[in-house]
């Protein structure tokens, strides 16, 4: 027995079933409602039974209020993944489920889920809300394209992004009543590659009042989401300003760049990036500049901060960290042999962000870009992206735990090391065959 004073809770939307050891109460299994008053009575009953820790499953968001009330009452709460609590085949009920959780937790067979600190949870809530607004705004842009195409206005063939300055100016002029293609084409920005004549040709279409009404509604929705995103940016800036400064233990011992290395130039600001000094705030709160890693933008670094926080001490090493992100291979081993390769279920938000960062390295002239292209040559696309995302996760872990700055050593450095590895492998193979390598005379 690992946890002698343990209980189990089966979480529900309307009520929760709580189980304690049979010798603690005449009625060891009780049902409590989901009201806050019922949760407080649950905490009092657990104290009366001498319970110090409870285990519950992360069921939707129903567990959040319960967990907060119990922790305020001084009870340690283990929020466990439902995949690790599967019961034996047979009948299943709420009473049996809470008793099963109690039994597993008593013998230390359940692992507590990682949860960032309270101040990071506030940043996470706002960042996730902002992400949903960005997705909705992207859908409205697609609806704008659809409406224009229905009128045979081929603006997207000359202006790639109609949510930019030129596209928005032309669409808003259309909604105000302008129909002359030449007048509309004059609103294009000088940086647009298509000429004014080409833009005018793309704006010749059949103007339909019903589609114009649809376009006006979609534009209103787009403006609404943009306003909501600005409010999220202000609240996000306020929450991040409240976070303390962080300095890693090794931040003062930055390794000197090796010969041939180069520092990456500043990455351009993303279109969906919050409109405040996000990079400076991230470097202050994280204690490291993650944007120095090629492929990782401020948006990816913000995702890491909001989902994990700056402190990764909960993960003993980078192998545990990448496994938690489901970026490490999962193998079933029996008698020292891999009998099955299991595909991980679900995807973590940070892992998805790192996957997208890995895909941006396909044309990079950096060390990481050369490494990614080498992986693409050895395995299929999805596996290469996952392998590169895992390597980026390891770099992030080292920066946040060690504090040392990452310095890119360039594509040529990777190619030189690759050739040296291949040469050593060829020499070992030749020696095993009783031969030797002879360089070709020029």
Distance of CA 278 to the CA centre of its chain: 17
* Tokens representing residue 331 in the block: 């193998």
Burial of 218 (0-12, 13-18, 19+ CB in 10 A): buried
* Tokens representing residue 294 in the block: 């090629």
Indicate the SS3 state at residue 88.
Answer: coil
Flag whether pLDDT at 370 surpasses 60.
yes
Contact (CB, 8 A) for 23 and 118: no
* Helix runs in 287-366, H state only: 298-308, 318-324, 349-359
Give the pLDDT band of residue 160 (cuts 50, 70, 90).
confident
What value does the mean pLDDT of the chain take? 88
pLDDT tens digits, residue range 176-229? 999 999 999 999 988 888 999 999 999 998 999 999 999 999 999 999 999 999
Q: Which pLDDT value is given to residue 241?
A: 92
Give the pLDDT band of residue 266 (cuts 50, 70, 90).
low
Distance (Å, whole) CA 439 – CA 426: 12
DSSP state of 362: G
Contact (CB, 8 A) for 32 and 15: yes
Percent of the chain topping pLDDT 90 = 62
Q: Which pLDDT value is given to residue 337?
A: 86
77-91, 215-229, 310-324, 345-359: range with lowest mean pLDDT: 77-91
Query: What is the residue-wise DSSP string for 236-302?
Result: HHHHHHTSPP---TTTT-PPPPPTT-BPPPPPPPPTTS-SS-HHHHHHHHHSS-GGGSTT--HHHHH
Distance (Å, whole) CA 145 – CA 277: 32
pLDDT, average across residues 291-308:
92
Give the pLDDT band of residue 235 (cuts 50, 70, 90).
very high
Q: Distances in Å between the alpha carbon of 27 and those of 75, 93, 228?
A: 20, 17, 50
Give the pLDDT band of residue 268 (cuts 50, 70, 90).
low
Closest residue by Cα to residue 300 from 247, 246, 253, 360: 360
30-39, 182-191, 243-252, 299-308: range with lowest mean pLDDT: 243-252
pLDDT, average across residues 321-344:
83
- With a threshold of 0.75, does the pTM exceed it? yes
Phi and psi torsions of 289, nearest 5°: -100, 95
Kind and range of the H or E run holding 404: none
Indicate the SS3 state at residue 144.
Answer: helix
Give the pLDDT band of residue 264 (cuts 50, 70, 90).
low
**Which residue is associated with the tokens 């009948």?**
91
Indicate the SS3 state at residue 4.
Answer: coil
pLDDT, average across residues 106-131:
92
Q: Which pLDDT value is given to residue 349?
A: 92
Flag whether pLDDT at 299 surpasses 70.
yes
* Tokens representing residue 135 in the block: 């997705």
DSSP state of 373: H
């Amino acid at each position: 027995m690992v946890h002698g004073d343990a209980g189990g809770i089966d979480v529900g939307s309307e009520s929760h079933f709580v189980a304690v050891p049979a010798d603690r109460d005449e009625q060891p299994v009780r049902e409590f409602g989901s009201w806050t008053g019922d949760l407080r009575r649950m905490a009092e009953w657990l104290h009366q039974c001498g319970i110090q820790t409870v285990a519950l499953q992360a069921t939707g968001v129903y567990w959040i209020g319960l967990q907060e009330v119990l922790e305020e009452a001084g009870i340690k709460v283990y929020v466990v993944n439902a995949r690790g609590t599967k019961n034996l085949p047979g009948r299943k009920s709420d009473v049996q489920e809470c008793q099963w959780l109690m039994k597993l937790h008593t013998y230390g067979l359940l692992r507590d889920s990682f949860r960032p600190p309270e101040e990071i949870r506030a940043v996470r809530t706002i960042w996730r809300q902002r992400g949903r607004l960005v997705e909705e705004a992207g859908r409205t842009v697609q609806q704008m394209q659809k409406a224009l195409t229905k009128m045979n206005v081929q603006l997207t063939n000359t202006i790639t992004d109609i949510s930019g300055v030129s596209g928005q100016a032309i669409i808003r002029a259309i909604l105000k009543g302008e129909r002359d293609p030449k007048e509309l084409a004059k609103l294009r920005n000088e940086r647009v590659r298509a000429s004014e004549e080409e833009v005018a040709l793309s704006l010749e279409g059949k103007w339909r009042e019903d589609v114009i009404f649809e376009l006006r509604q979609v534009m209103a929705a787009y403006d609404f989401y943009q306003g909501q995103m600005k409010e999220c940016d202000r609240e996000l800036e306020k929450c991040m300003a409240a976070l303390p400064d962080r300095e890693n233990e090794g931040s003062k011992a930055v390794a000197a760049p090796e010969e041939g290395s180069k520092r990456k130039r500043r990455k351009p600001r993303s279109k969906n990036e919050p409109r405040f000094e996000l990079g400076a705030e991230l470097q202050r709160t994280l204690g490291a500049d993650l944007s120095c890693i090629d492929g990782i933008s401020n948006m990816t670094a913000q995702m890491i901060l909001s989902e994990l926080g700056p402190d990764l001490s909960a993960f003993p090493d980078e192998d545990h960290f990448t496994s938690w992100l489901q970026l490490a291979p999962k193998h079933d081993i029996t008698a020292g042999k891999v009998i099955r390769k299991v595909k991980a279920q679900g995807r973590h938000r940070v892992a998805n962000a790192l996957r997208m960062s890995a895909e941006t390295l396909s044309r990079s002239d950096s060390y990481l870009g050369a490494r990614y292209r080498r992986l693409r040559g050895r395995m299929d696309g999805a596996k290469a992206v996952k392998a590169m995302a895992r390597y980026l996760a390891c770099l992030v872990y080292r920066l946040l735990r060690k504090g040392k700055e990452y310095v890119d050593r360039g594509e040529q450095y990777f190619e030189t090391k690759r050739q040296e590895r291949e040469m050593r492998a060829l020499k070992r193979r030749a020696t095993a065959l009783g031969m030797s390598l002879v360089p070709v005379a020029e």
